[in-house]
Amino acid sequence: MQGYTVPMVVEESRILQVSIFNTLQSNIGSVDFRHLALDVMTIADEVDSQLKQAMLGFTESPPQSRQVSLPKS
């Protein structure tokens, strides 16, 4: 996907995290609580890391091209 602005990328990251937590909540009966905290921390850390990388790419791009290109999913 091309043509994303910084606010759009940040919003996508937020939506991803909300979706993950909603999925966990919807499936609470089958969640293994022995691993939940570590798994949630790992997921949140990875989402934040991906957001950071996207923002670094944005800030390192030439001034005339201030949009983020995200990998196709």
Residue 18 is predicted with a pLDDT of 95
DSSP, collapsed to helix, strand or coil, labels residue 26 as helix
DSSP, collapsed to helix, strand or coil, labels residue 4 as strand
Name the phi and psi angles at 66, rounded to 5.
Answer: -95, 40
Residue 58 is predicted with a pLDDT of 81
Model pLDDT for residues 24-43, shown as the tens digit of each residue: 999 999 988 888 889 999 99
Q: Which residue stretches of the chain have pLDDT < 70?
A: 1, 61-73
